[in-house]
Structure formats: C-alpha cells, structure tokens
Structure 1
C-alpha cells in the first residue's frame, strides 16, 4: 500500500491553501476511498496515539480482489460499519477472502422520506426551503444534520469505544458510506477522549475532502433508489457544531462517553491500548 502523492501532485488545479493538512496520510487501496490511519497524533499528557491500530475509510462495497490483497496488509481483526441497515443491504462490504469480525453499529436511524440513514440524502431534503449557506460555508441542511447527529449518535459512539476494548478487536477499521460525516464525528470523539487537541482532530476530519475529491465542487452520486444526491465537503464549523453540542455540553469527551455508559475503567483501558509515551 502507498500513501497518496504530495498535495501539489495529488490534487492538481487546487490551490495549496485548499489542500487539507495531513493529506499525505491517505492510503491508496483500489476500491476503498478515504482510507487513513487514525493514529499518530500527540496527546495532552505528552504521549501519542498509536499507529497501526485504528483506521478509518469509506465502505468496502467497491473493494475488489487487488484492493483486498492490499488491505490484508493492515491485519484487520474488526471492521465497524456505521451505516444503516438499508445501506448495508444495498451496498454490502466485499471481503474477497479477508478474515475479520464485522460489527454493525448504525450511527443514525433511517430518516423520514429517505430509504437510509445517509446524511447527504437527509441534507438534500433539509436544504429545501432553507436560506443558502454563506459562500464557503457548510450547506444549511448538512449543519442541521450535524445537530441531529449530536442528539442521537452518543449510544453508537459509546458502543464503538467498547467494541475496540474487546479482546483481539485491534487492529480495527471504522467506516460509513464515504468516511466523512458519521465516521468523522465518531473518530473525533475518540481522539478527544484520548487527549488529542481539537486543532489536530479538525485537521484529520478535513482530510476527507481530499480523500473523496471534494476540494472543488460537490460530487453527485446515485443512492440505492437511483435518486441523484450530492456528496458535500466537510467544513470545520460542522465538527465544531457537533463537538459543542456533545463534548462541550458534557464538559469533556470522557464525560460525554460516561453519560452514554462507558466506565472510568474502560476509558483507562482505552488510553492504555491506543496511546503510548513518546
């Protein structure tokens, strides 16, 4: 496996200022979008998040034999899928001989008048009748979606944390449809609980725009019903909005996870497993 090229060669035609910090961390695996290691970040206690234990990406629905062969190099024991049941039915992950435990932890319920829990589909509908976003800002519908995720995503995020603590669960991969919204908030809470600075968490979150080719115009795609949808870029304000309504409301990521049932002993074990002294 290889990481993507340097920003000026990986995304020609895009101004350097638009290229997210950390784009070189993207791992190129055929058929798997937006793959990268969630480790390597400094923590507040002077440690560092271990690399090679937790990865994030889009779904494995387009993974082919060659991609699976390369992905095998990560030695994954667990793949956590944050998508809704309708998404899993229409776009099942492809294994091609990969051996891992598949875990379904839907972040969101299916939305009214949509067939899945896809934030982009819901945002399309939420945008109707709303004022346009400021230039360069997130779409109003997507902002509304992040407010909704702050209300409902606590239990599955807590369940995700607990799953990582299961014997033999690591290395693990967590993904949703494209690995930017549901995966973004899940990894953000985890990194915050490990003591990673919000600036580094935001930088990692924004790498998805490069990983998905969203540094320019939004990308159109067909959902499971053949409806044209828009995959929107992520913006710092979206993550800030989510964290203010979850981590900020409870005082810390640890307190947010405790509120949803994660124990102090589990939080200590999480830090033991996923961080190391420098």
Structure 2
C-alpha cells in the first residue's frame, strides 16, 4: 500500500495513551505527537515544540498548552487543510503564521504520492518557504514557538531535521526524534486508515529512519550541509548564527 503524507485528524490518541509512552512525548488533550525539542544537542528547553495540528485542541488542552507560554504557531499545512481543519487557538495568546511546504495540489495528486517521492519534492521545492519559517523564529517575542503540519511527522519532520542539523545536533539524535512520531501517532503496530483533504481513504504507515536520513543526504549532496542548503535559499549567515545563539544553551 502507498506510504502517503498523513493528513488525518481521526483516531487521535487519548491522553492516557500518550502518557503511557516513555520518552519525550507530551500529553495535551487534543494534540497529537507533541514534544519539546529542548535537550537535543544542547537546545534550550521550553523554546521550540513540534506536534500535529491544533484543530482538535480541547478546552483542557488549551488550558494546559497555555502554560507553555507559546507566542507563535508555525503551520506548515496547505491552505485547504487549514480551511478544513483550522487550529483552535482563539483562546491562546499566539500569533499564527502559515508556511505551506507542499506545492499546490490538484485533486489530491500530491497527497497521493509515496513518502519516498514526497520528501525529495519538499527538499527540492520548499527551501525558500522553510527559510521563511525559520526566520519567523527570530522575530521579536516569537518564542516559545510550536511548529506543526497535519500530524507533525513529515513536513514538520523535514523542517525540524534541517534546523537541528543547522544547530549541530548529531544525526542519530535527529533520527531518534523523527522516529518518535511512530509511537506519537500510534503507528508502532502498523498502519492506520485516514481521509485525505479530498475525501480519499488512504493508509498511514510507520516512518523509517531512511526517509529522514535520505532527505539530509540529498541536502548534503547538493549543498554540503543543511546550513549550505538554507543559505542557498535565502537564510543569511548572520541569521544562522542568531538561530544557534537563540536556541542553544
């Protein structure tokens, strides 16, 4: 079966299910696949989080998430996803910013691609958009921030991997963080069905380490490093240095 981008909001794990997962996954009602990137390679805790969308955020989840002091939410979904499943952030003191990482879809063609095809597509076409998203973290009072796509795995995984590589986090830690999406989405024991934004039933399969290491290898083959890739797409050396100074301990 196809391994496709996970755009479903169905079958969200319960709070208890998340609490039962050891490690860095955080339990907030209505938020899937949530974790703090702090502690990875010396990153400062409480500054940058990743997750699935906030479209199912509950009242209790809102109360708990407010305690994180979030100032910015970066949404990597496409406009149709945002329209169909808007984030429930009205009760949070956050600024929302949209940075869609996929090309304009037509009838679900992009959402029906294999992950082995989607990851190179994002690397090849979304560089400037990813730079814009990272630059947003440098705006005054932007932090703490949360970055998400539909379920916080593929688009979020690529952007986070590039940022962590820029911040000199070891690749084994980048990969381990990426693979946390399998337990975070309840995919450890196999795939789940979901509806894509066009109403097509698809299968969401567990991700493999080779997807993210392959994306990083593609970046390095063409640009030498994640920093080289980001610089080639508009990030300045000063901004790269500021991201390191801001996010690392």
TM over 0.5: yes
Do the aligned partners of 2:108 and 2:198 also contact (CA within 8 Å) in 1? Answer: no
For structure 1, the residue ranges without an aligned partner over 5 or more in a row are 11-22, 43-47, 124-140
> Secondary structure, in 3 states, of the residue corresponding to 1:70?
helix
For structure 2, the residue ranges without an aligned partner over 5 or more in a row are 1-14
Q: Distance in 1 between matches of 2:67 and 2:87?
A: 18
- 2:47 corresponds in structure 1 to 53
- 1:157 corresponds in structure 2 to 130
- 1:65 corresponds in structure 2 to 59
* Structure 1 position 203 matched with structure 2 position 193: no
Q: Distance in 2 between matches of 1:104 and 1:250?
A: 26
* Structure 1 position 38 matched with structure 2 position 28: no
Matching residue within 169, 181, 199 for 2:154: 181
- 2:112 corresponds in structure 1 to 122
- 1:91 corresponds in structure 2 to 85
Question: Offset of 1:111 from its aligned partner?
Answer: 2.7
Alignment of 1:15-30 (within 5 A): 23-30=22-29
Q: Distance in 2 between matches of 1:105 and 1:30?
A: 25
Do the aligned partners of 1:189 and 1:247 also contact (CA within 8 Å) in 2? Answer: no
Structure number with higher relative contact order (C-alpha < 8 Å, ≥ 6 residues apart):
2
Do the aligned partners of 2:79 and 2:100 also contact (CA within 8 Å) in 1? Answer: yes
Per-residue displacement from partner, 1:178-200 (whole Å, max 9, x unpaired)? 00000000000000000001110
Question: Offset of 1:210 from its aligned partner?
Answer: 0.6
Question: Offset of 1:150 from its aligned partner?
Answer: 1.6
> Secondary structure, in 3 states, of the residue corresponding to 2:96?
strand
> Secondary structure, in 3 states, of the residue corresponding to 2:234?
coil
Do the aligned partners of 2:18 and 2:184 also contact (CA within 8 Å) in 1? Answer: no
Question: Offset of 1:223 from its aligned partner?
Answer: 2.6
Please, what TM-score do these two structures have when normalized by structure 1? 0.80
- The number of equivalent residue pairs is 235
Q: Distance in 1 between matches of 2:60 and 2:193?
A: 26
> Secondary structure, in 3 states, of the residue corresponding to 2:87?
coil
Q: Decide which structure has the larger Cα Rg and report it.
A: 1
- 2:206 corresponds in structure 1 to 233
Do the aligned partners of 1:39 and 1:50 also contact (CA within 8 Å) in 2? Answer: yes
